[in-house]
Structure 1
Amino acid sequence: MKILIGCPVRNRAWILPHYLRAMQSLDYPREKLQYCFVLNNSTDCSQEIIEEFARNNNTDIIICDQEKPRGVERGYYSFTHLASLRNTLLNQFLETGADYLFSVDSDILVPADSLSRLIAHNCDIVSMLVCNGHQIGDPDVYNVLRQVDDRYEYIRDFPRHGVFPVDCTGAAYLIKRRVITRGVRYCTDGGGEDIGFCQQAREMGFQLYCDGSLEAFHIMHENQLSLLKNNGTVKTGAGE
């Protein structure tokens, strides 16, 4: 199976070396990996870091500078802005011969065995756990949601072994090519761009899952880099 790994990138020079090192540590044949990064309005040396990486890795770099986003913001992006950037990545994916898109946000470090384990599940869409609650002081908030009537709520009672169904996920997930060829795209319907993507996928009959035994480390702030070992990997328990 050929895999395209990618994400939008903006001003991530402080974390990119660790992110790229984690990708190179994946226990998957290197010749079957391809990368694509959508750079947007970076004012640091993110582009130079990725260009250096591209010298020894099969990498597409898309410069997609846009005007300052408007609307509801998450960090430096609006949801509409993020949806556009992520759809640029999906469209580029279709230009490759990859079987899967491994979509991993640029502030997330994945375990070395994560890709091979997600592929083994043979799901249309399957994620690993990513804690999103550190910023709001709730360590039980992860990237897994269920739909309740016309709203979404975080799943807190998920199993820590095997896969379980979800209605919405994101941050670090594996997507089969057929999902993207069917036309599933990011949009702001229902809220954030991940919600729109997942709603479209479900409406087209695709099922979404998360592997509760796999957890990536979400580095939301530069001061969290102290949790890394000298080799750039996450210390045991750091993502818990």
Structure 2
Amino acid sequence: MALAAVAYMCGPQHGTETIPLAITNAKGSLVVNNRNRMVAEAQKLDVDYIFFVDSDVVLPNWALHRLLAADKDIVGGTYVQREEPHLILGKTLDGTLIHDSMQGMEIKPNELMEVGALPGGCMLVKMSVFEKIGAAESPIFQTPARREDDGTWWIEGEDYYFCRWARQSGYSIFLDWGLSVHLKHVGQQHNTIPFKEAPNALVN
């Protein structure tokens, strides 16, 4: 339903520029494969952007307009994990978890924040990014894993892997806090980022 509302807002009904859309849906238990299929389909359609929206992410109907207006190669919102303790997903430029680095800090909802990685559930990417990265790395989305000395396994999510490769290829990644506080990650309940209403939002 949220995606239908986004598509509706891309029409001429609201006095904004009409945005031609092609909506595709990749189903499967492996998200990494779904993302690669979506990129391949978008390349066939010769579109300018791909907007990843995961089925468990609820977004406002103005989300796509806002991200397009940012005019960045890679931009998106973050949200919290569905499982407790509901950490805010993503990494800062130094690799710190966004959840750990932003606790109690003032954020500016009308400004973008450059980050090291974003979750892929609400991410807008210019297709030119895949043309550059794809020439050096295929498939573009992967989930590398290794066994640590203590016997535990380290696994990198496909979205963080893509962000790492994008940054190594010279691209910057931007987080939109103003959008992020409106995103819901659906699990047993709708989980949202806690914030206080103020001139600038404040992460609790």
Provide structure 1 residue ranges, at least 5 long, that are not aligned to the other structure.
1-17, 41-76, 226-236
Aligned to 1:37: 25
Matched, 1:209 2:159: no
Alignment match of 1:115 (pick from 52, 57, 64) = 64
Q: Equivalences for 1:184-195 in 2 at 5 Å?
A: 185-189=140-144, 191-195=156-160
Q: Which runs of 4+ in 1 moved over 4 A?
A: 27-31, 222-225
User: Where does residue 74 of structure 2 map in the other structure?
Assistant: 125
Q: Match for residue 98 of structure 1?
A: 47
The count of aligned residue pairs is 167
* CA distance in 1 between partners of 2:109 and 2:36 (Å): 31
Q: Offset at 1:223? A: 4.9
Q: CA separation in 2, counterparts of 1:219 and 1:84?
A: 21
- Is contact 1:22–1:109 with CA below 8 Å preserved after alignment? no
- Residue identity opposite 2:24 in structure 1: C
Normalising by structure 1, we get a TM-score of 0.61
User: Once the 2 structures are TM-superposed, how far is the Cα of residue 131 of structure 1 from its aligned partner?
Assistant: 2.8
Task: Give the superposition deviation at 1:165.
Answer: 0.2
In structure 2, relative to structure 1, the CA distance for the partners of 1:162 and 1:147 (3 Å cut) is closer
One-letter amino acid of the counterpart of residue 117, structure 1: R
Residue 86 of structure 1: how far off its partner (Å): 1.0
Q: Normalising by the residue count of structure 2, what TM-score does the alignment of the two structures yield?
A: 0.70
Taking only aligned residues, the RMSD between alpha carbons, in angstroms, comes to: 2.8
Please tell me whether the aligned partners of residues 167 and 198 of structure 1 are also in contact (alpha carbons under 8 angstroms). Answer: yes
Q: Which has the higher contact order (CA 8 A, sep 6+)?
A: 2
Question: What stretches of structure 2 of length at least 5 have no aligned partner?
Answer: 13-17, 145-154, 192-196, 198-202
Q: Deviations over 1:29-79 (max 9, x none)?
A: 566011111122xxxxxxxxxxxxxxxxxxxxxxxxxxxxxxxxxxxx5xx
Q: Is the 8 A contact 1:28 1:116 kept in 2?
A: no
Question: Which residue in the other structure is 2:6 paired with?
Answer: 23
In structure 2, the residue matched to 1:176 is 126
- Whole-Å separation in 1 of the counterparts to 2:189 and 2:176: 28
Match of 2:110 among 157, 161, 172: 161
